[in-house]
Chains A and B, each alone.
Chain A
Amino acid sequence: MKNFIVRTLVAISLSALMFAQAPAAKQSKTFAKPPAMSPAPPPQLGPVALRGGKLLTISHGVIENGVVVLENGKIAAVGGAGTAIPKNARVIDCTGMTIYPGLIDSSTQLGLTEISAVDMTNDLVETSDEIMPHMHVSDAFHAESELIPVTRMNGITNAVVVPASRDTLPGQMAFIKLDGRDKDDMLLIRDISMPLNFTGRQRRNESFNTSRYPSTRMGMAAQLRQAFIDAQDYAQKWDDYNKKGADNSKDKKDAGSPPKRDFRLEALIPYLQGKKPVVLTASEPSDIKTAMRLAKEFNLKVILGGIAHAQMMVDEIAASHLPVIVGSIYDIPDTNERYDIEYSWPAELVKHGVKIAFASYDSHNVRNLPYAAGYAVAYGLPYEEAMKALTINPAEIWGVSDQLGSLDVGKTANVVVANGDPLDPRTDVKRVFIAGRDIPMVSRQTELRDEYSK
């Protein structure tokens, strides 16, 4: 316990130190930088060839009795039985197996929680204020979480880590891979996006006596609008300052002293500039419309999320051409809705031409992500679209489709080998490769199983 406290204190003071050292002038330049992948992890040990399986390539159909070669952490070859296998490759017989690209979960809380009911293991959301864009899940992400091996053993190789939805703007999300020596290895893209939550749960209206601003949706909207206006003003101040300095570089004094830095407002600027998308998360049509109006007002780039009860505005959603993160399939229908309205919602969206990606919106149960997609297939979603919504669609939405989301040469070797249909809960995942590394199929859970099977 004492150790734990000491470690926590060290961590706190370390991160404080890091903030103090952040060079103020440099920061304004980084606004323009696109999100970059972290340096590649060490390459895999020698090439691996997966031979004889059924390949779900996602990008170019199904290849029966196919071959996939993984080399230096990348996919080096994909093809039929005749595909050349390097002489030094470790050949793995995959006869009877199904091989597909690693699955991507577009909304999880991996690394932010360990035991849900134990507060000290939770770093889900900062609820002291509702506008918290300067919170970064990358600062809390716990690379050694026991949830990660449990999850990746079911073929989920990448995930977006999202703070909990209690705040309107709860902070910056991160795109991770579910393997790595430490957090730097695993956090592929920090601050990739941020949620803009507008479900009503962000109101501070627990009871009449303890409620505080914003206790209504009106308050939420006003507060959000003020925050973006403040951020615009703040950006303008810095622009003016930088311009003055540049105009009269001989006499920097004219520029005056630099404006006071404000991390909170600074964090909103990339979104005002349209450089990063917000994930606009709402459930009911009226909330979606209010939030969309605000997003338009500030020219925000939008990915839709949630939208569980928005069936009546499906045409409008389609016309917006916005991608949708679907995690609503297990939501309970409203009073007058048919029992299957949520089950058939992904099919309905795709039928209308909407690009969807599945998300579990979960932590411990992220491993069950593919079954939601499978159940959507039972209710009308074409199988290929379900697989895409777990792979290439999220890769495109998150801007990483050049590296992830399909079995194609040159992409990161995130490859899963299973003994059947990935969308069926009876299927057992046999092997998972992440960036070419043959992941040990071991978790805290398998260790307990083995111990008590003796």
Chain B
Amino acid sequence: MRARLLSSCVTALTLSLSVSLSAQMSPKPVPQDTVIKGGTILTVTHGTIQNGSIYIHDGKIAEVGQAVHAPANAIIIDATGKYVMPGIVDAHSHSALDGDVNEATSPVTPQMMMRDAFDYTDKAIYHSLAGGVTTSLLLHGSANMIGGEAVVIKHKFGLDRDDLLFPNAPRSIKFASGENPKRVYGGRNQLPSTRMGNFAVQRAALQEAKEYMRDWDAYDAKVKAGDKTAKAPKRDLKLDELADVLRGKVMVQIHCYRADELLNEIAIAKEFGYNLRALHHGLEVYKVAQKVADAHVGLATFADWWGFKTEAWDAIPWNAVMSMRKGVIVAIKSDSNDFARRLNQEAAKTIRYGGATEDEALRMITLNPAWIIGVDDRVGSIDVGKDADIAIWNGHPLSIYGRVEKVLIDGSVFFDVNSGKYGLPFWKDGPMTGRDGFGNDDSDGEVDY
């Protein structure tokens, strides 16, 4: 709690600083009344509307249907012959971090805040925006059992740093298990070097946090009871964060592959009582899908990646659909600056492998990842009241021939294929600055996935 208070003070401070530092970035746009008119609207939640319209007011979707009631002066975006879908949501990204994904100097580093490394000028944000992505969860790598707190961004490329942060997004922390931690630390002859070691490290950290939380709770109770002699326990950023996990204030996103391992993770979450939101990768979920569904844990997975390491040897491209049919909430995620640019094609593969419907395939890159991030009440479908995060395509987004033409975020156009050299209304033409989107390829790639 105190950590949160402190950090919001810090955020406020950086905010006021950054205003003066970032004159070259565009100011935050004021969303105009806008109507997207005449397109085929893929709502994701309530089917397809032919020749439909969307009225956007104050950056939100105000009306959706065959006809809408917009003021006469609203900006009209003609989408005749186009396909309109909610902005794509990527539940597993390492973009825009310049390779700062693993503080691999200790297997437990929950105090690592992704927002401290996030680079809002990184071209990877632009490249995936041009592929229809509007929201991403930037996660730590998997070198550590407990990596740190993630950050949720909107791809408002060209605006200032804090304008890209998804306002009031729920907090997520990255946990990991399996080959990566044991390889990284085992390679140094340290704990953990086995899966036994992995889980021992994870349990020890959680137990320590439990006791820390108990000490603080006891202290708070004393203070509340008016005990003036009560002595505050020593603050520890590491344990502050983990205590928030145990209090259910931070969702856990766990990197794991094998069926046995993910069942262990589900059991440990139950044992310590924290909110295990989703299994990331989870390439063997199809083997135990009913158990995962019963535990109400989601899955963010690859469409067809396999064989890159031993724990990915049993990966099959039917994983997503087989798991979905058992009731698991499944997202197709990128885990890569490359795939983040074409998640629509990855989702299309679920139609071929397992027979997902078009709506189900689209849900895997919109509403389902939004649920995993905890923002499904605000993005991920074309519904009244949601943020106007919308991608307009020249063809069906699940077709290989579909191309993004415009992307709106909070009702403003952030990508327009016809806007200047780069298609970026908020980025001035001329030489680009900032990092070039290679971030996670430069780092120790093998501990990203």
Contacts and interface: CB of A to CB of B under 8 A. Distances in A.
Bound pair (A, B): yes
Interface of A: 114-118, 146-147, 150, 330, 332-336, 338-340, 363-365, 367-368, 371, 374-375, 377-379, 421, 423-428, 445-446, 448-449, 452-453
Nearest to B259: A452
Interface string B304-321: 111111101111111000
Interface stretch (B138-146, B220-228, B264-272, B432-440): B432-440
Interface residues on B, range: 35 or more
Contact of A330 (B312, B317, B338, B441): B338
B402 interface: yes
Contacts of B124: 332
A364 B308 CA distance: 8
B352 A427 contact: yes
The binding surface of chain A is classed by DSSP as loop
A374 B401 CA distance: 7
B399 A116 contact: no
10 contacts: A336-B431, A339-B127, A364-B308, A368-B304, A374-B401, A375-B400, A424-B348, A424-B400, A425-B345, A427-B352
A421 B401 CA distance: 11
A14 B343 CA distance: 48
Given A332-B337, A375-B345, A426-B352, A114 B307 contact: yes
Given A115-B309, A118-B310, A426 B398 contact: yes
B421 interface: yes
Contacts of B337: 332
Contacts of A428: 352
Nearest to A447: B316
A17 B436 CA distance: 52
B291 interface: no
Nearest to A445: B316
Interface string B35-75: 00000000000000000000000000000000000000000
B199 interface: no
A377 B401 CA distance: 7
Interface of B: 123-124, 126-127, 130, 179, 286-287, 304-310, 312-318, 322, 337-338, 341-342, 345, 348-349, 351-352, 395, 398-403, 421-423, 431-432, 436-438, 441, 446
A114 to B, nearest CB: 7
Nearest to A373: B400
Given A332-B436, A448-B316, A426 B306 contact: no
Given A147-B307, A364-B308, A371-B400, A426 B348 contact: yes
Contact of B342 (A117, A146, A375, A452): A375
A362 to B, nearest CB: 11
A330 B437 CA distance: 13
Nearest to B439: A332
Contacts of B315: 445
B348 A333 contact: no
Contacts of A378: 395, 400-403
A146 B431 CA distance: 47
A344 to B, nearest CB: 10
A452 B286 contact: yes
A335 B438 CA distance: 10
Nearest to B345: A425
